[in-house]
A = this chain, B = another copy of it.
Amino acid sequence: MIMKRAIILSSGGIDSTTCIAYAKNQGYTCLSLSFDYGQRHRSELDAAKKVAAYFNVEHHIFKIDIDQYRGSALTDTNIDVPTAASYSKTDIPMTYVPARNTIFLSIALGFAEVYKIGHIFIGANAIDYSNYPDCRPEYIQAFQAMANLATKAAIQGEKVVIETPIIDLTKAQIIELGMKNGVDYSMTVSCYQADELGRACHDCHSCAIRKKGFEEAGVSDPTHYVK
């Protein structure tokens, strides 16, 4: 039997932290799942760990080096492989990780099956990141349809439900939801280039969205900045 338990994908940022607080207050026993996928800074993982401890939920870090895509094993001649140097100049920005949510949700799906967990929360948001295809409601629905056919548990009637409580909210609304559910956002890190203490740069796109969110929510910004 699937009990009211949930995996929450956690990056230590505003969106996933809000999901943890929300799910916990909805009565779920939560497992926070973070990915060590070769991201630039460890502070994201440190923040996710702090958040999990704060909410007293299990935390697991799954290691998967997505950067292997650009690894040196692709050295033969049949395929015209872009070099690491040329890759960074293509139209795919370095902050876009190909198929990231699909890979993360797939791993979470395996996790859910092993531990008989019925819900996966993902802090996907279609408002502030509308150019990320794998944050849109239609993508999530398609993943759900696939997941319903993918596992033994699912075909035996124990489907895993992908939960996206903040998919249609603005950043300000997400912050309001989190505050209502007891989030202390000073623990969270959003910056693409936070330092090892988790202090934000104040300059990147992610910092700008975060700052605007606090302003619009009328909440004083608790972010630790480098400057």
Contacts and interface: CB of A to CB of B under 8 A. Distances in A.
Interface of A: 5, 29-31, 56-66, 68-71, 73-74, 76, 78-79, 81-82, 87, 92, 96-103, 105-107, 109-111, 113-115, 117, 133-134, 136, 138-139, 142-143, 145-152, 154-155
Contacts of A30: 78
Nearest to A133: B155
Enumerate the 4 nearest inter-chain pairs by beta-carbon distance, A residue then B residue, closest first: A99-B110, A98-B113, A98-B110, A142-B146
A149 B105 CA distance: 14
Contacts of A138: 149
A146 B149 contact: no
B58 A62 contact: no
A110 B71 CA distance: 14
A31 B70 CA distance: 14
A58 B149 CA distance: 32
B99 A103 contact: no
20 contacts: A5-B79, A29-B79, A31-B79, A60-B68, A60-B71, A64-B64, A69-B110, A69-B111, A98-B113, A98-B151, A98-B152, A99-B150, A103-B103, A103-B107, A133-B149, A138-B149, A142-B145, A142-B146, A143-B146, A145-B145
